Amino acid sequence: MLFLRLKYKSSNNLLKCCRLFATANAEEYTDIPQYPPILNLSLDKVRERRIQAYCEEVKAVKTVEEKQLKLNMPRYYGFKCYMFYENNIPYDNLELVQHITRTHLIKDSLPDYYNNIKVDSVLETIKSDIEEAILLELDGYRKNHEIMNEALSKSQIEDIISSAVGVHVNRALLNNLCKDFPHLVNTTTDIDPRIESSWFAGGMIAPLRVQSWRKAKPWFKDQAKDPVDRAIQYIGMPSLTVRSELPLCPVIPYSEAENSSFDVPVFKFDPGVVGMLTEHRRLVNTPGSLFNMHLLMCL
């Protein structure tokens, strides 16, 4: 027979260890089994989870500037973007613009909102100021390019004059409307602002080189003709923008964006077929509006 002599302190430590060991064993069992999630290991689902995790990382970043840096870090040299400019409208690209912006054209009439706008009373008070601003910019003084004898084209001269007229007309409108609409006092006018917008548009046929690359990979053969996303970059060049803390009311309800009866054409081809050029640029989004592009494309 073997006897084991333990000191008093050692026996206490042994009891503590036994209690901890017994507690740990008891916690290994639960009334409801807890199994790890069963994940789909297909290529599409793995890619989808990776993209979703990256989106969550971007959402976790606090400021807009940091979010844009986070988006551009994977491709610091820039994305291959199809460039859309406000003053450059290639021929026959209306369907493309509708597709990438998810825009439905209202051809019969404008929304009822525009029929309820009454400006006759306001127009009588500011008519003279607007006329004076237009006359002053057209014939009131000599422009800088006239003094310097710069050789400018007709369109460049028209841009200079129209920009100056727009600034003074906007000043006349704000000065007169602030009396009846006090919130206009806090507005900020930006002259020649920078407006850029970037996004990805999908549903377009993959280029032949992409299809050939997919066919060469065994795990991509079944997806050789799947559509791919295109990076879109829009650059607007308005004469001025007016910024306010109060947003404009929607012309039509936001719920109309989910109306399935609206017809939006699907453009499946590469944007290059209608003359859109590409350029490697970083994704940038600055405040502004794409309404000018929509209006010009529709006209």
196 and 272, same domain (yes or no):
yes
Residue 93's pLDDT is 87
**How far, CA to CA in Å, does 118 sit from each of 25, 84, 115, 197, 248?**
79, 35, 8, 33, 17
259 and 122, same domain (yes or no):
no
Is residue 211 situated within a structural domain?
yes
99 and 203, same domain (yes or no):
yes
Is residue 19 situated within a structural domain?
no
279 and 194, same domain (yes or no):
yes
101 and 242, same domain (yes or no):
yes
Is residue 21 situated within a structural domain?
no
49-73 pLDDT, tens digit each: 999 999 999 999 988 888 888 888 8
138 and 202, same domain (yes or no):
no
Residue 1: pLDDT band (50, 70, 90) is very low
The residue among 159, 187, 215 that closes a domain is 187
Is residue 41 situated within a structural domain?
no
Task: For residue 89, give both structure tokens.
Answer: 């409208």
* 103-112 LR contacts (CB < 8 Å, sep 24+): 103/264, 103/294, 104/262, 104/263, 104/264, 105/298, 111/251, 111/252
Average of per-residue pLDDT across 8-19: 49
The residue among 157, 187, 217 that closes a domain is 187
204 and 258, same domain (yes or no):
yes
Q: Which domain holds residue 168?
A: 115-187
How many domains are there within the chain?
2
279-296 pLDDT, tens digit each: 999 988 886 554 443 333
Residue 26: pLDDT band (50, 70, 90) is low
Is residue 2 situated within a structural domain?
no
Among 126, 114, 228, 202, smallest CA distance to 168 is for 126
pTM of the model: 0.74
**What is the chain's mean pLDDT, rounded?**
80
Among 79, 63, 62, 86, smallest CA distance to 283 is for 79
Residue 199: pLDDT band (50, 70, 90) is very high
The residue among 160, 187, 214 that closes a domain is 187
